[in-house]
Structures are given as structure tokens and as C-alpha cells.
């Protein structure tokens, strides 16, 4: 994760701030050729601003039903409900919800508000088509060392949600019950190019999230 400091033109210690999240992807037939799906796309971005009491997802831990639903189908409904419960408990400020990246595109942007009370950001999106694979970030701090960060760039890893044992992008459903823990995606070389969440040889990441303060 790369970051830089506050913007001199903005109040670096204000109670709230507004950010733009730019999601750019390198997922292409050139960069990840093995069984590259013809209709590759990403589901709509979904996440939240929150405090340290919240983990949207964590490797080695079982994903929530909402995260699994995003990873398997791209649907936000279950996760939005879970976020609502977190907000009712006082551990989240705002829901982050935006568009995905279509087959013909390579980036998308969504803006959101954030507060010092809930200074962390977690956002996910489904790799589609796929059995239950997703990418995103958990608990990225935008208020750090007493000030809002002007820009934070995070390279993205690919995760297996643990709920389906499909081996490639267009595999039929093979549900796992109960689900396995979330892991960095690793497959056989004949199935995809992914090993521990990145390209097995080039170590290329599937994309980046760039958080830039806009107000």
C-alpha cells in the first residue's frame, strides 16, 4: 500500500472528508491469458467506512454470507443488509456502493464520505464470471497520524471466498458447505494464471484501488 500526506488546500484534520475511489484493472487476455473469459467484468463495488471493530473479510477466516453472495453472484443485497446491522451498532458510518467494470472497460470511480469516527475503508467486487472469486481491500486507513491522507494506492489481490470448489472462471457450481476460510486464489496452471492472489510468473496484480481526497 502506497500513500502520501495531506493536501495543503484542505483541512487535514477536519471531522469528515470526501474521497474518490478509482478502481483500475489489468485483467486482460494479454496479462492473464489462461482460460481468460470472453465476458470478463467486475460486479458493482460495495463496502463501507468503519472503525477497528469491523473486518469485512480476512484470509484464514470464514466469509460472511454477504461477502459470499458478492463473490458468487455479484449481488449486493445480503452484504448491504449486513452493513446496515454494523451501522446500527455504531461501527460504520457510510455504505460505499458503485458501478462495476464492464467487459469493454478497465476502470470505474465512486465517491464517498468518511469521518474520523469511522476512518477505515473496506470494499469488494466479484471477478466475473468465476465460481466465488473476488478482489478488494479491508480496513484501509484514510485518516492516519492525525491527518487525512491525500492519496492512497493499494494493489489488489484475488481471493477465493471458500464457498465453491469450481476450478476455472466458467466452472459449474460446486458448493462447499460449510464454506472454507477465505484464501488468496491459487489454481492449477491449466486452469488460471493465479497463484497466491497474483499472476504466478509475472506477479502482476489484477488491479489497483486509488483513494484520492476530493473535499
Q: Residues 19-63: pLDDT tens digits?
A: 999 999 999 999 999 999 999 999 999 999 999 999 999 999 999
Q: Is the pLDDT of residue 6 over 80?
A: no
pLDDT of residue 7: 47
Which whole number is the average pLDDT over 118-129?
Answer: 99
Q: Is the pLDDT of residue 215 over 60?
A: yes
- Per-residue model confidence as pLDDT tens digits over 54-104: 999 999 999 999 999 999 999 999 999 999 999 999 999 999 999 999 999
Q: What is the full DSSP assignment across 23-48?
A: EEE--STTTS-TT--TT-EEPPPEEE
Sign of CA dihedral 204, 26, 156, 215: positive
The residue assigned the cell 497466491 is 196
Closest to 57 in 3D by CA, of 76, 79, 37, 35: 79
**Could you tell me the pLDDT band of residue 172, with boundaries at 50, 70 and 90?**
very high
pLDDT of residue 78: 99
Taking the domains of the chain in order of start, what are their residue ranges?
2-213
Question: Cell numbers of 132, please?
Answer: 466465488
- The domain 2-213 belongs to what CATH superfamily? F-spondin domain (2.60.40.2130)
Closest to 171 in 3D by CA, of 72, 61, 96: 72
Which whole number is the average pLDDT over 155-178?
Answer: 98
Amino acid at each position: 500500500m502506497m500513500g502520501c500526506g495531506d493536501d495543503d488546500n484542505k483541512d487535514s484534520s477536519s471531522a469528515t472528508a470526501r474521497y474518490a475511489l478509482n478502481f483500475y484493472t489489468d485483467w486482460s487476455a494479454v496479462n492473464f491469458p489462461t482460460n481468460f473469459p470472453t465476458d470478463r467484468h467486475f460486479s458493482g463495488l460495495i463496502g463501507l467506512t468503519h472503525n477497528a471493530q469491523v473486518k469485512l473479510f480476512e484470509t484464514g477466516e470464514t466469509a460472511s454470507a454477504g461477502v459470499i453472495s458478492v463473490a458468487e453472484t455479484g449481488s449486493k443485497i445480503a452484504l448491504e443488509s449486513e452493513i446496515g446491522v454494523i451501522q446500527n451498532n455504531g461501527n460504520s458510518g457510510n455504505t460505499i456502493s458503485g458501478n462495476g467494470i464492464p467487459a469493454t472497460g478497465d476502470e470505474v470511480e465512486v465517491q464517498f464520505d468518511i469521518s474520523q469516527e469511522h476512518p477505515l475503508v473496506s470494499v469488494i467486487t466479484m471477478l466475473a464470471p468465476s465460481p466465488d472469486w473476488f478482489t478488494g481491500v479491508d480496513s484501509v486507513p484514510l485518516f492516519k497520524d492525525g491527518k487525512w491522507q491525500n492519496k492512497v494506492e493499494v494493489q489488489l489481490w484475488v481471493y477465493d471466498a471458500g464457498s465453491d470448489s469450481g476450478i476455472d472462471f466458467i466452472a459449474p457450481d460446486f458448493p462447499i458447505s460449510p464454506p472454507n476460510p477465505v484464501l488468496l486464489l491459487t489454481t492449477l496452471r491449466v486452469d488460471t494464471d493465479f497463484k497466491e492472489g497474483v499472476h504466478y510468473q509475472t506477479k502482476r496484480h489484477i488491479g489497483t484501488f486509488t483513494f484520492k481526497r476530493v473535499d
